[in-house]
Amino acid sequence: MRSKPETIANISVKEYCFSKKQIQGVVEASQFKWTFTWSFNKGLLTVNPPLGRALIQDALFRFLLKNDYELEAGNDYKFTISAKF
């Protein structure tokens, strides 16, 4: 029986600004690295650079929706993506 493909994504929260209602950070998965800005009052996620963005954007969006109020600047987090990058 084959195991399901998965990739671990590592998130580093660089800034959490409640007055701007925004989180900024870096997410890495496999050989890819992106910066992101999560505007949680608008539900808007921007991920850069565009190379490989489609691989991470939906999974990161779901993670942030579920955990945004538990995240703190300067901390690192992980989540699993059900795909192999």
Cα(17)–Cα(73) distance, rounded to whole angstroms? 9
| pLDDT tens by residue, 27-66 | 999 999 999 999 999 999 999 999 989 989 999 999 999 9
Cα 63 to Cα 1, 7, 26, 39, 42: the distances in Å are 29, 14, 14, 14, 16
Would 10 be classed as within a structural domain? no
Would 59 be classed as within a structural domain? yes
Would 62 be classed as within a structural domain? yes
**Computed from CA positions of residues 24, 42, 66, 72, in that sequence, does the dihedral angle turn out positive or negative?**
positive
Is the pTM higher than 0.85? The answer reads: yes
Number of folded domains that form the chain? 1
Would 55 be classed as within a structural domain? yes
User: For residue 31, what are the domain limits?
Assistant: 15-73
